[in-house]
């Protein structure tokens, strides 16, 4: 199947795709090295025009009301669903992820648009009687939202940002990552056809130019960022300086815990394998620290090694591939360096650990699914690797295991496998993580809050509470009559 998309892209500003004179960068297939398209850089002036367009569109978009906004968001969901196969193939080429996996991203994205189109209709104001009258708490949109998304899951990331912001009545300037802009710009074609001009604008280019200008713009009244903790701190600093709210979904180094009482070892091994290496391991929520109880450790380890060996490494468009190439040569070299660091620190390489070769994709960095027997103090257990690399840790003492699971700067997610409900709930309550999944890793369903503790971020996405982050409360009080004068006339 041929994948159709444009050879040249510019930003979407006020309903029009523009071509500028700022120079271009290449959207490159990381597997083959082939140039997919050229994309025009934006500069500070482009960002200013995009924000001005969003600012100009805000009053009209807000005035449409919840039902009409929900209708248009549902129309976008329908358009994305109808175009999902083409968009998924674009992402597979642009990011290097397995096509079978990216298709599921689009299913999630469509559900996300539809969820917020529905839940906004129940996002009601609140009120109560007061002496002689009534007090109303009215939720209103914030205005122009500056949103910055990463490269690892463009479909989901765009939906996570756009759906709640638009449903609540805000307008948006969205910046995709320069490593994965194509599908978001193609999404922009649907947006330009469905939404009024200026409601959603897409600006392309470098984070230090476009992201910085967007974050600092005086007309942007809300910032939302998904990406590294390091850049998140910068965005948070700008938001604090400007006194605007910020939602941050940042890094993770998630613990995945296996108790000795698990009943189906093969099923747990399979799910733990998925937890570590789905999305080629390039996921902030990946279960990259696997704690296995000593009573079953040897049997589990042997099965885990075989599971990792069975994972098919192949081309992004190969339907049978379960791990494909990393997003760039830079990322590939970084992952290999981390494997070397782990071995140098005393970790034992159990399987993988090297670059794999895939016929026809010689330019790509395909990393063998890798397991390292490690200690929680090692860098490979404390720092995000963003590749198909799992640290395996044996535990025997429950209290020590809990301490180690929480001994990280991150707190995005965690997993637990046990047949004992008491073990499950007691452990879930003690883990410092925003999401804890019991007996199925990454069990995210519509309306469940997603976000992190500690340095994994601020705020929650994918849930009704997200609408509160994109609105502010105005209090209106009504009295039945004007009170008597507070001073007696002379």
Report how far Cα 225 is from the mean position of its chain's Cα atoms. 9
- β-strand partners of 475: 137
Q: Which residue has the tokens 């009053």?
A: 59
Q: Which of 186, 249, 384, 461 is catalytic?
A: 249
For residue 336, the surrounding DSSP H or E stretch is helix 329-344
DSSP state of 78: H
Tokens linked to 439: 């007996």
Confirm if 60 and 169 have CB atoms less than 8 A apart.
no
Tokens linked to 372: 């390292």
**29 φ/ψ sector (left φ>0, alpha ψ -120 to 50, else beta):** beta
Evaluate the CA torsion angle 92, 96, 100, 101 in order and state its sign: negative
The SS3 of residue 472 is strand
Instruction: Tell me if residue 284 is catalytic.
Output: yes
Residue 137 CB partners (closer than 8 Å, separation 6+): 125, 126, 127, 473, 474, 475
The whole-angstrom separation of Cα 285 and Cα 152 is: 12
The SS3 of residue 8 is strand
Backbone phi, psi, residue 464, to 5°: -55, -35
Nearest to residue 66, comparing CAs of 23, 124, 10?
124
Confirm if 278 and 442 have CB atoms less than 8 A apart.
yes
Q: Which of 42, 284, 361, 463 is catalytic?
A: 284
Tokens linked to 337: 């360096």
The whole-angstrom separation of Cα 136 and Cα 139 is: 10
Nearest to residue 252, comparing CAs of 149, 153, 384?
384
Report how far Cα 329 is from the mean position of its chain's Cα atoms. 22
Residue 45: exposure state from Cβ atoms within 10 A (0-12, 13-18, ≥19):
exposed
The whole-angstrom separation of Cα 487 and Cα 464 is: 48
Provide the annotated active-site residues.
249, 284
């Amino acid at each position: 199947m041929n994948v159709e998309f444009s050879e040249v892209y510019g930003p979407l500003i006020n309903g029009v795709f523009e071509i500028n004179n700022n120079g271009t960068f290449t959207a490159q297939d990381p597997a083959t090295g082939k140039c997919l398209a050229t994309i025009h850089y934006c500069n500070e002036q482009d960002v200013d025009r995009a924000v001005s367009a969003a600012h100009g569109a805000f009053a009209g978009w807000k005035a449409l009301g919840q039902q009409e906004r929900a209708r248009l968001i549902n129309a976008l969901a329908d358009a994305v669903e109808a175009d999902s196969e083409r968009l998924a193939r674009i992402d597979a080429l642009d990011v290097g992820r397995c096509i079978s996996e990216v298709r599921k991203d689009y299913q999630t994205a469509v559900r996300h648009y539809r969820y917020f189109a529905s839940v906004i209709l129940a996002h009601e104001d609140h009120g109560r009687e007061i002496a002689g009258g009534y007090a109303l708490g009215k939720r209103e949109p914030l205005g122009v939202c500056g949103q910055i998304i990463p490269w690892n899951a463009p479909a989901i990331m765009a939906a996570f940002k756009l759906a709640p912001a638009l449903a609540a009545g805000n307008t948006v300037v969205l910046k995709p990552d320069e490593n994965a802009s194509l599908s978001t710009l193609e999404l922009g074609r649907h947006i330009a056809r469905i939404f009024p001009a200026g409601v959603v604008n897409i600006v392309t280019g470098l984070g230090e130019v476009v992201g910085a200008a967007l974050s600092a713009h005086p007309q942007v009244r809300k910032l939302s960022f998904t990406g590294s903790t390091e850049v998140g701190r910068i965005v948070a600093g700008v938001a604090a300086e400007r006194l605007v709210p910020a939602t941050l979904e940042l890094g993770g180094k998630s613990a995945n815990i296996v108790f000795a009482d698990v009943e189906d070892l093969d099923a747990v091994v399979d799910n733990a394998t998925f937890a570590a290496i789905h999305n080629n391991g390039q996921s902030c929520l990946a279960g990259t620290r696997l704690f296995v109880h000593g009573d079953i450790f040897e049997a589990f380890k042997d099965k885990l090694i075989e599971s990792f060996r069975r994972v098919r490494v192949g081309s992004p468009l190969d339907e049978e591939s379960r791990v494909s190439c990393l997003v760039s040569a830079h990322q590939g070299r970084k992952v290999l360096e981390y494997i070397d660091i782990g071995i140098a620190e005393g970790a034992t390489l159990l399987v993988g650990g090297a670059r794999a070769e895939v016929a026809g994709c010689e330019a790509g960095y395909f990393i063998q699914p890798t397991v390292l027997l490690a200690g929680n103090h090692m860098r490979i257990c404390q720092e995000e690797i963003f590749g198909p690399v799992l640290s395996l840790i044996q535990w025997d003492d429950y209290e020590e295991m809990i301490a180690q699971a929480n001994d990280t700067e991150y707190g995005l997610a965690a997993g637990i496998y046990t047949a004992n409900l008491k073990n499950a709930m007691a452990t879930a309550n003690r883990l410092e993580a925003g999401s804890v999944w019991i007996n199925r890793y990454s069990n995210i369903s519509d309306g469940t809050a997603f976000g992190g503790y500690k340095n994994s971020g601020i705020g929650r996405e994918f849930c009704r509470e997200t609408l509160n982050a994109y609105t502010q409360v105005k209090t209106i009080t009504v009295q039945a009559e004007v009170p008597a004068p507070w001073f007696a006339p002379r």
